[in-house]
């Protein structure tokens, strides 16, 4: 009898951890920096080390292998350490900084939007800026409030205000597999890349992750479900909602194609356009708020370039145009839901 082949599965946080660890082994210039990325800073002499590891424990264990010179806990100084990463990247390091939650980019937006994103351009292309900003985002969006319920300043998605900035690459992994590959790609990229990591992917993201290092290319979307009647297009946790919706729709003989964007900027327009030219319908699902959003940006691009291919008006399903509310019932209404995606498709199918 043949032994079954063991397929190693990882969940989201550990796959990012593996990406960081392998890249740090490969290149001594890769460092990680952020608040409580190791934890218990300076307390090794008391037997305390590695007390935290970031909100998803993605940096846990790195300090024991690479030491505090390359795994750097910072004071609560986002403006300072993100700016220091810009300077370090200009001078030979490849820093990976963690901004604990995407909401906190407000504390360091100058260094991201005015400095990191534009430096290469402003200097006429004469400088490289190999830095990565990892940051957690998103709501849980169901009625089990514990673990969600982080309200207006710790639950946002905010990827539009990052994707909006020319010069900044923005990637959004949705599974353990693409999280590892995109993180490695981001570290190897010579420009600034923001990696947005959803807080509540849970088991949905778990899956086969090869042990060896690999790259999931930045700027390339993934068709995760083939279909013929409608294209559903999303990123991060919303991709899983689209897959759930597609399953329900399949029972109604509606065959939905699902595109996982993976990179928001530069956007893989071609994959979206090719799909829409076949399905003739598009629903864009976006966890961010709707005004100036990725959803409307994609809708506009498709309307400009494939209007004649469309059989129905493009639909968008986004978060509510409000701050994130605390109360669990309101948070569930704020966040895009599977039934909204299904309703949008049914409306398109007439």
Partner 1 sequence: MSLIRQFEERLKWLVETGTPVGPVHFYIGQEAVAVGVCAALEDSDWVASTHRGHGHCIAKGVAVAPMMAELFGKVTGTNRGKGGSMHITDISKNILGVNPINGAGVAHAVGAGLSAKVRKTKQVAVAFFGEGSAGVGTVHECMNMAAIWKLPVLFVCENNRYAQTTPIEYACSVPNVADRAAAYGMPGVIVDGQDVFAVWRATETAVQRARAGAGPSLIECKTYRYLGHHQSDDTTRYRLPEEEQAARDRDCLKGFRARMNAGGPLTMAQLDEIDERNKRLMDEAVEFAKAGAVPEASELYTNVYVPDGKASR
Residues designated catalytic: 78, 154
Is residue 343 a contact residue for partner 1 (CB under 8 A)?
no
Is residue 61 a contact residue for partner 1 (CB under 8 A)?
no
Q: Which of 102, 104, 131, 221 binds partner 1 (CB under 8 A)?
A: 104
Nearer to partner 1, 131 or 150 (CB): 150
Question: Cβ 141 to partner 1, closest distance in Å?
Answer: 13
Is residue 35 a contact residue for partner 1 (CB under 8 A)?
yes
Closest by CA to 198, choosing from 164, 169, 238, is 238
Is residue 48 a contact residue for partner 1 (CB under 8 A)?
yes
Q: Which of 9, 65, 77, 270 binds partner 1 (CB under 8 A)?
A: 77
As a whole number of angstroms, the distance between CA 20 and CA 14 comes to 10
Is residue 339 a contact residue for partner 1 (CB under 8 A)?
no
Is residue 39 a contact residue for partner 1 (CB under 8 A)?
yes
282-320 CB burial, b ≥16 within 10 A, e <16:
bbbbbbbbbeebbbbbbbeebeeebeeebebebbbbbbe
Q: Which of 18, 23, 73, 222 binds partner 1 (CB under 8 A)?
A: 73
* Site stretch for partner 1 (CB under 8 A), options 70-78, 224-232, 252-260, 268-276: 70-78
Q: Which of 61, 80, 167, 290 binds partner 1 (CB under 8 A)?
A: 80
Mode of pairing for the β-strands spanning 282-286 and 315-318: parallel
Is residue 323 a contact residue for partner 1 (CB under 8 A)?
yes
Q: Which of 19, 41, 88, 249 binds partner 1 (CB under 8 A)?
A: 41
* Site stretch for partner 1 (CB under 8 A), options 45-53, 244-252, 264-272, 274-282: 45-53
Q: Which of 1, 6, 46, 203 binds partner 1 (CB under 8 A)?
A: 46
* Site stretch for partner 1 (CB under 8 A), options 22-30, 35-43, 87-95, 207-215: 35-43
DSSP 8-state secondary structure symbol assigned to residue 134: E
Distances (CA, A) of 47 to 13, 37, 41, 75: 25, 17, 11, 21
Size of the site for partner 1 (CB under 8 A): 45
CA 258 to chain centre: 17
Q: Which of 9, 25, 28, 43 binds partner 1 (CB under 8 A)?
A: 43
As a whole number of angstroms, the distance between CA 49 and CA 58 comes to 15
Is residue 153 a contact residue for partner 1 (CB under 8 A)?
yes
The residue whose two tokens read 């004649």 is 308
As a whole number of angstroms, the distance between CA 52 and CA 291 comes to 36
As a whole number of angstroms, the distance between CA 294 and CA 163 comes to 8
As a whole number of angstroms, the distance between CA 316 and CA 130 comes to 34
Helix ranges (H only) for 29-122 are: 62-66, 78-90, 109, 119-122
* Site stretch for partner 1 (CB under 8 A), options 11-19, 38-46, 89-97, 168-176: 38-46
Question: Cβ 66 to partner 1, closest distance in Å?
Answer: 18
Answer yes or no: are the C-beta atoms of 235 and 294 closer than 8 Å: yes
> Which secondary-structure segment (H or E) carries 223?
strand 222-225
Closest by CA to 171, choosing from 188, 154, 193, 152, is 193
Question: Cβ 79 to partner 1, closest distance in Å?
Answer: 5
Is residue 320 a contact residue for partner 1 (CB under 8 A)?
yes
The residues of the shown chain that bind partner 1, judged by CB under 8 A, are: 35-36, 39-43, 46, 48, 50-52, 73-77, 79-80, 103-104, 106-107, 144-146, 148-154, 320-323, 325-330, 333-334
């Amino acid at each position: 009898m043949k032994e079954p082949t063991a397929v190693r599965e990882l969940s989201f946080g550990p796959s990012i951890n593996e990406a960081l660890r392998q890249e740090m082994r490969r290149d001594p210039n890769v460092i990680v920096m952020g608040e409580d990325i190791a934890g218990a800073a300076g307390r090794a002499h008391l037997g305390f080390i590695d007390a935290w590891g970031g909100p998803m424990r993605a940096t846990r264990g790195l300090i024991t292998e690479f030491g505090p010179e390359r795994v750097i806990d910072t004071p609560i100084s986002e403006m300072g350490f993100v700016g220091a990463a810009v300077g370090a990247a200009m001078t030979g390091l490849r820093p990976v900084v963690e901004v604990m939650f995407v909401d906190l980019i407000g504390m360091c937006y100058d260094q991201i939007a005015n400095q990191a994103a534009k430096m290469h351009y402003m200097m006429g292309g004469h400088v490289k800026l190999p830095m990565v900003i990892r940051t957690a985002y998103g709501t849980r969006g169901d009625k089990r409030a514990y673990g969600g319920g982080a309200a207006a300043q710790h639950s946002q998605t905010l990827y539009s205000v990052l994707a909006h900035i020319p010069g900044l690459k923005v990637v959004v992994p949705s599974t353990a597999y693409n999280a590892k590959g995109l993180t490695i790609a981001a570290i190897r990229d010579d420009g600034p890349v923001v990696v947005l990591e959803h807080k509540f992917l849970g088991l949905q993201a778990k899956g086969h992750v090869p042990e060896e290092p690999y790259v999931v290319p930045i700027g390339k979307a993934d068709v995760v479900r083939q279909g013929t009647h409608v294209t559903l297009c999303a990123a991060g946790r919303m991709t899983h909602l689209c897959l759930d919706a597609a399953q329900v729709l399949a029972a109604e003989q509606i065959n939905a194609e699902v595109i996982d964007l993976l990179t928001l900027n530069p956007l893989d327009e071609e994959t979206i356009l090719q799909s829409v030219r076949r399905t003739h319908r598009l629903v864009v699902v976006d966890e961010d708020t709707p005004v100036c959003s990725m959803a409307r940006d994609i809708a506009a691009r498709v309307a400009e370039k494939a209007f004649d291919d469309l059989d129905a008006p493009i639909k968008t399903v986004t978060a509510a145009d409000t701050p994130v509310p605390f109360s669990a019932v309101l948070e569930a209404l704020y966040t895009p839901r599977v039934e909204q995606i299904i309703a949008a498709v049914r409306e398109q199918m007439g």
